Amino acid sequence: MLDLIIKNGLCYIEGKLKNLDIGIKNSKISKIGSLNNEKSKEIFDAKNLTVLPGCIDTQVHFREPGSTNAEDLNSGSRAAIAGGITSVFEMPNTNPPTSSKKEFSNKLKLAKDRMYCNYAFYFGATPENYKELSELKDLEGCCGIKLFAGSSTGNLLVNKEEDIEKVFQNSSKIVSVHSEEEEILNMRKKLIKKGDVKTHPIWRNEVSAIASTRKIVKIAERFKKKAHILHVTTRDEVDFLSQHKGNVSFEITPQHLTLSSPECYEKLGTYAQMNPPIREKIHQDRLWYAVRNDFVDIIGSDHAPHLKANKEKTYPDTPSGMPGVQTLLPVMLNHVNEGKLKLEQLVKFLCENPAKIFGIKNKGFIKESFDADFTIIDLEEIIEIKNEKIESKCGWSPFDGDKFKGNPVATIINGEIKMKNGKIIGDPTGKSIKF
């Protein structure tokens, strides 16, 4: 007897949508085909719905330990599954930072039996811990190394070229990079106008982004190591990175594809403030060019929640970042419905490429013997994002009041239905991701 059968859905298998049933046993995909004669403890009727492999958000900040008033591993994972995300990669800029094996082990302990989605954690690079980076290859639950080349918290800033070289030279995992040139940012601080968030992208200009990205790619190529450039925002970076695809991959966020300057700052004020910033439409158009042509590899939310009280202070005394793990899919499915990208591209960016680029075992595809993680969507459902429905502790979204067509209606993790029609079901049973 099977544990669960997903019936009557349009399933994304081998690059095509197929009318097939999926049988699940012991948290794995057991059978794919017509399963009318099979018995099962539970049946999920996916009529008029589309069944995707479990979607993976490769960049979230769940703030634990240290800033658990804004988010913690439990609340962040609830937001993830409410938005159809089955697995997350969580960032190391916590307090204390996840930059030693001791703190990494502590992070795994904090996650156990508290996270609804599956999880992996980044190991934070510092100027001092480069020797440890060679020992991470088999570290349980470690998705990669995070390098802040600009703008970080605590001891995680690695901005000197010789220190960046040491990180790459010693890396035993892919190095994901926040790519802004710290020196340029410091030089341009004088352009910040108090109380005027529209100066945020002027201060953190496109030159600071491309200068850093060129340096990172040069170093990665020299040492023949894998680099992943996070939240790319500029046309120069798109053009440069599309010419350097060997060992280098890159990410774009839904907010950079959806919001543009100055309108977003006029509407949202400091709620639109993030690093790297939301830029003018000329840059956004180039990001879409990267999407259309499959130059980009991954769409990640860069979920970075802050409390309203802090976001409402006077700029620049306001933190950068916005929540996004719960809204990633509705925003991107709306873009699919608008014809800006194809559904199969979205599956590539959220499922297949994360699995391939980061070496995730048994996820990213609907295949027999793979983990039974699924994101089930209704491409026709129109939803309105509302702050009061945000599961994140911060309780707000930059998309509050916006309507989107396309919605995740169920999240299945390790063969268990954990979200259905917006309701979170049962206890947190997420597991650490295997690489």
- Any idea what the CATH number is for the domain that residue 42 is in? 2.30.40.10
Q: What are the distances in angstroms from CA 184 to CA 158, 176, 377, 429?
A: 14, 21, 43, 44
Annotated catalytic residue, options 21, 302, 373, 378: 302
Assess whether 69 and 149 both reside in one domain: yes
pLDDT exceeds 90 at position 155:
no
Is position 432 within any domain?
A: no
Assess whether 192 and 94 both reside in one domain: yes
Is position 286 within any domain?
A: yes
Is position 201 within any domain?
A: yes
This prediction has a pTM of 0.98
- Any idea what the CATH number is for the domain that residue 330 is in? 3.20.20.140
Active site residue 302: yes
* Whether the Cβ atoms of residue 131 and residue 169 lie closer than 8 Å to each other: no
Q: Whats the size of the chain, residue-wise?
A: 435
Of 358, 380, 409, the one marking the end of a domain is: 358
pLDDT tens across 57-90, in order?
999 999 999 999 999 999 999 999 999 999 999 9
By the 10 Å C-beta count (0-12 exposed, 13-18 middle, 19+ buried), 266 is classed as: exposed
Assess whether 156 and 176 both reside in one domain: yes
CB atoms within 10 A of CB 289: 15
Is position 45 within any domain?
A: yes
Is position 88 within any domain?
A: yes
Rg (CA), the chain: 21
Report the pLDDT value the prediction gives residue 194, as an integer from 0 to 100.
Answer: 98
Q: Which amino acid is at 265?
A: Y
Is position 431 within any domain?
A: no
158 falls in which pLDDT band (50, 70, 90)? very high
pLDDT exceeds 80 at position 153:
no
Assess whether 60 and 43 both reside in one domain: no
pLDDT tens across 183-220, in order?
999 999 999 999 999 999 999 999 999 999 999 999 99
By the 10 Å C-beta count (0-12 exposed, 13-18 middle, 19+ buried), 230 is classed as: buried
Is position 429 within any domain?
A: no
Mean pLDDT for the stretch of residues 303-315: 98
Is position 435 within any domain?
A: no
Assess whether 188 and 306 both reside in one domain: yes
433 falls in which pLDDT band (50, 70, 90)? very high
Report the pLDDT value the prediction gives residue 132, as an integer from 0 to 100.
Answer: 96
154 falls in which pLDDT band (50, 70, 90)? confident
Report the pLDDT value the prediction gives residue 164, as an integer from 0 to 100.
Answer: 98
pLDDT tens across 225-274, in order?
999 999 999 999 999 999 999 999 999 999 999 999 999 999 999 999 99
Of 335, 358, 381, the one marking the end of a domain is: 358
What is the C-alpha separation between 250 and 98, in angstroms, rounded? 23
Assess whether 45 and 70 both reside in one domain: no
Assess whether 168 and 30 both reside in one domain: no
Assess whether 333 and 374 both reside in one domain: no
Range of the domain at 9: 2-51+367-424
Report the pLDDT value the prediction gives residue 34, as an integer from 0 to 100.
Answer: 95
List, in order, residues 6 or more apart from 209 with CB less than 8 Å away.
179, 180, 181, 232, 233, 234, 236, 237, 276
Report the pLDDT value the prediction gives residue 151, as an integer from 0 to 100.
Answer: 77
Assess whether 29 and 81 both reside in one domain: no
- Two tokens, residue 422: 């917006």
Mean pLDDT for the stretch of residues 329-351: 98
CB atoms within 10 A of CB 374: 30
Assess whether 349 and 391 both reside in one domain: no
Give CA angle at 158 (154, 159), nearest 5°.
120
Assess whether 170 and 200 both reside in one domain: yes
Q: Number of structural domains, the chain?
A: 2
Report the pLDDT value the prediction gives residue 231, as an integer from 0 to 100.
Answer: 98
pLDDT exceeds 90 at position 125:
yes
Assess whether 44 and 59 both reside in one domain: no
Of 327, 358, 389, the one marking the end of a domain is: 358
* Whether the Cβ atoms of residue 216 and residue 177 lie closer than 8 Å to each other: yes
